[in-house]
Amino acid sequence: MPDKIILLTFAHALLLSFLLYIFPVYTAHSCHQFNIHHNSNNNGNAYTTNDTITFSSYSLSDKNQTIWIFSDNGIQTGKIIHHNFHTAGNYAVKAVSGNCSCSQTLLITTQQVIPSNLPAPEIEGESATITNTPIHMSASVPNNITCCWKTPDQDSTHYGNSTTFTFSRPGEKIIQLYNCTDSQLMAIKRIKVYPSIPHTPLPTPHPEKQLIPQHTNRIISISEEDFRFNLLQIISRQIKPSDILKYLCNPQHTPVLINDNQTNDLMAFCNQLYGKKKTQIQQVTLIKDSSGCIQEVRINVNKKRLINLF
């Protein structure tokens, strides 16, 4: 019998403690000096589902703990707390401190991504380079956008409206341009990285066909299609091989890779092309430096006529 009395007394004490704790929460009355404060934004009491809202309250007595009751079934305690609403709608927030309480209603909306009417930027730069040679890239974007440059081949991120990449291995590479603020992909560019041509001694051109004059300091940039057209004019004898010197970084030694397996000097190759009207130039790839002059040339020639050139 004494054990039952002890248990009954303990249960009554526990129930009384619970009632004393919960009573101020549900019987609290409003106090004009007690209020809810939250981090403000441009929309007053309107927030989105992605916002973390900071709530704070100050009562007349710092000894009273503030209890926060949210209509999404959330309850927190503290003078300053943080809360997220995961679903759009109207939510009531009630703060209780001692015998004081106050309430507010917040509007929670779904964040909407407003599409930009601006055209997607284009990455400007060469479409081909050689290994271990820097290649420059740039993009024209509004001043309020911070550019991030990435490539799957490298872990580092480059920042700014322009940057430089250097690749140690040949192959096709992808350069990605992001908006740093929201990580949105804005543009990509594919470039071809060729292996460096070993500088081996090259055969001396025939003295009767040596057409290299004194080099001029003026460098003129040319597109791959226009350079291919110049080679066709050399084949048909409409221009001389020396007419392409103005496009070369080093007219005395500009390597050319023919059909991806045969190395020669560009001017020696052009002298051999001169007048060979049955030769077909199928594709030309130019490797340029930052000033636009040609460092190396890749040429695909019909294999049947290639034998007759050498």
Q: 243 and 305 share a domain?
A: yes
Residues 6 or more apart whose CB falls under 8 angstroms from that of 297 comprise: 227, 254, 255, 256, 257, 266, 284, 285, 286, 287
Whole-number Å distance between alpha carbons of 158 and 174? 14
Whole-number Å distance between alpha carbons of 19 and 301? 94
Is residue 252, in this structure, part of any structural domain at all?
yes
Q: 185 and 219 share a domain?
A: no
Q: 109, 140, 155 — which closes off a domain?
A: 109
Is residue 292, in this structure, part of any structural domain at all?
yes
Mean pLDDT, residues 219-238:
87
- pLDDT at residue number 87: 85
163 strand-pairing partners: 137
Q: 54, 83, 109 — which closes off a domain?
A: 109
With a cut of 60, say whether residue 207 has pLDDT above it.
no
Q: 178 and 221 share a domain?
A: no
Mean pLDDT, residues 294-309:
76
Mean pLDDT, residues 211-239:
77
Q: 219 and 148 share a domain?
A: no
**Structure tokens that stand for 45 in this block:** 């009491």
Q: 264 and 287 share a domain?
A: yes
Q: 181 and 262 share a domain?
A: no
3-state secondary structure of 245: helix
Q: 160, 194, 228 — which closes off a domain?
A: 194
162: domain CATH number is: 2.60.40.10
143 CB-contact burial (10 Å; exposed 0-12 / middle 13-18 / buried 19+): exposed
Work out the pLDDT band at 187, boundaries 50, 70, 90.
confident
Q: 212 and 296 share a domain?
A: yes
Is residue 185, in this structure, part of any structural domain at all?
yes
Q: 103 and 146 share a domain?
A: no
Mean pLDDT, residues 213-233:
76
E strand residue ranges, 78-203: 80-84, 89-97, 100-109, 123-125, 128-130, 135-139, 147-151, 154-159, 162-165, 171-179, 184-194
218: domain CATH number is: 3.10.450
With a cut of 70, say whether residue 233 has pLDDT above it.
yes
Is residue 94, in this structure, part of any structural domain at all?
yes
- pLDDT at residue number 201: 57
- Which of 39-53, 119-133, 196-210, 234-248 is predicted with the least confidence, judged by mean pLDDT? 196-210
- Which of 2-11, 168-177, 245-254 is predicted with the least confidence, judged by mean pLDDT? 2-11
Q: 173 and 218 share a domain?
A: no
Bigger pLDDT: 207 or 145?
A: 145
Whole-number Å distance between alpha carbons of 56 and 102? 12
Mean pLDDT, residues 264-282:
87
Is residue 118, in this structure, part of any structural domain at all?
no
Is residue 116, in this structure, part of any structural domain at all?
no
The average confidence (pLDDT) of the chain is 78
Q: 105 and 147 share a domain?
A: no
**Structure tokens that stand for 202 in this block:** 């090259």
137 strand-pairing partners: 125, 163
Mean pLDDT, residues 135-139:
89
Q: 189 and 213 share a domain?
A: no
* Residue 59 belongs to domain spanning: 26-109
Mean pLDDT, residues 100-119:
69
- pLDDT at residue number 168: 87
Work out the pLDDT band at 214, boundaries 50, 70, 90.
very low
287 strand-pairing partners: 296
- pLDDT at residue number 27: 47
- pLDDT at residue number 296: 92
- pLDDT at residue number 29: 47
Q: 83 and 163 share a domain?
A: no
- Which of 60-69, 190-199, 301-310 is predicted with the least confidence, judged by mean pLDDT? 301-310
Is residue 139, in this structure, part of any structural domain at all?
yes
How confident is the model over 282-297, as pLDDT tens digits? Answer: 889 999 888 889 999 9
Bigger pLDDT: 140 or 19?
A: 140
Q: Above pLDDT 90, what percent of the chain?
A: 6
Domain tally for the chain? 3
Is residue 3, in this structure, part of any structural domain at all?
no
